[in-house]
Structure 1
Amino acid sequence: MSMIALTVNQRAVRISAEPRTNLADFVREKLDLTGTHIGCEHGVCGACTVLLDGVPARSCITYAVACEGAEVTTIEGLDEDDVTTELRAAFTREHALQCGYCTPGMLVSARDLVLRLPQADERLIRVGLSGNLCRCTGYVGIVRAVQSVIEARRARDIAPEPDGGRKILGPAGSGRSVHDGADRVERLRPAASEQMLPETASSVPAILDFTPATVLKQQFIVAHPPEQVFALFDDIAAVAACLPGASLTAPPKPERVEGAIRVRIGPIAATFQGAARIERSPADMSGRIVGIGNDRRSRSSTQGEIRYRLVPTGQGTRVDLSIGYTLTGMLAQVGRPRLVRDLAARLIAEFAGNLDRRLSGTSPADATAVELNGMALLFGLLRARVAGWVGRFSSNKDGAT
Structure 2
Amino acid sequence: MIGLTVNARAVEAAVEPRTHLADFLREGLDLTGTHLGCEHGVCGACTVLLDDMPARSCITYAVACDGARVTTIEGLDEDEIAIELRAAFQREHAVQCGYCTPAMLISARDLVLRLSEADECGIRIALSGNLCRCTGYVGIVRAVKSVIDARRKRDLSSIPGAGRTTLGPVGSGNRAVSSNAAAVNAAAHQSEIQPEGTGTLAIPDFRPALVLQDQFTVAYPPDRVFEMFGDVAAIAACLPGAALGAAPTPERVEGMIRVKLGPISAIFRGSARIERDSTNLSGRIVGIGSDQRSRSSTQGEIRYHLVPIERGAGTRVDLSIGYSLTGMLAQIAREGLVRDLASRLTKDFARNLDRHLAGIPRDDAASTQSLNGISLLFGLLRKRAREICQRVLDRRY
TM-score normalised by length of structure 2: 0.57
Q: Is the 8 A contact 1:219 1:321 kept in 2?
A: yes
- Matching residue of 1:347: 345
- Matching residue of 2:306: 310
Q: Map of 1:196-215 to 2, 5 A cutoff? A: 197=189, 202=194, 205-215=201-211
Q: Cα offset for 1:242?
A: 0.7
- Matching residue of 1:299: 295
- Matching residue of 1:164: 98
CA distance in 1, matches of 2:166, 2:225: 46
CA distance in 1, matches of 2:234, 2:281: 18
Q: Map of 1:1-400 to 2, 5 A cutoff? A: 5-8=20-23, 10-11=26-27, 53-54=34-35, 57=37, 69-70=56-57, 162=96, 164-165=98-99, 166=101, 167-168=103-104, 169-170=127-128, 191-193=167-169, 197=189, 202=194, 205-314=201-310, 316-365=314-363, 368=367, 370-397=369-396, 399=397
Number of equivalences: 267
- Matching residue of 1:137: none
Q: Cα offset for 1:336?
A: 1.5
Q: Is the 8 A contact 2:20 2:58 kept in 1?
A: no
- Secondary structure of 1:229's match? helix
Q: Based on CA coordinates, which of the two structures has the bigger radius of gyration?
A: 1
Unaligned runs of 5+ in 2: 1-16, 48-54, 60-88, 105-126, 133-157, 173-184
- Secondary structure of 2:247's match? coil
Same amino acid, percent of matched pairs: 48
- Secondary structure of 1:244's match? coil
CA distance in 2, matches of 1:318, 1:255: 24
Q: Is the 8 A contact 2:190 2:271 kept in 1?
A: no
CA distance in 2, matches of 1:371, 1:252: 21
Q: List per-residue Cα deviations over 1:102-122 (Å, max 9, x = no partner).
A: xxxxxxxxxxxxxx9xxxxxx
Q: Cα offset for 1:230?
A: 0.7
Q: Cα offset for 1:58?
A: 6.4
Change (3 A) 1:12 1:263: farther
CA distance in 2, matches of 1:61, 1:344: 33
CA distance in 1, matches of 2:345, 2:35: 48
CA distance in 1, matches of 2:21, 2:342: 34
Q: Cα offset for 1:335?
A: 2.2
- Matching residue of 2:109: none
Unaligned runs of 5+ in 1: 14-50, 73-115, 117-158, 175-181
Aligned letter for 1:342? D
* Structure 1: 4+ residue segments shifted above 3 A: 51-55, 57-63, 66-72, 159-163, 169-174, 193-205, 366-369
CA distance in 2, matches of 1:332, 1:52: 34
CA distance in 1, matches of 2:285, 2:336: 23
Q: Is the 8 A contact 2:26 2:34 kept in 1?
A: no
Aligned letter for 1:379? F
- Secondary structure of 1:192's match? coil
Change (3 A) 1:58 1:372: closer
CA distance in 1, matches of 2:374, 2:289: 22
Aligned letter for 2:35? G
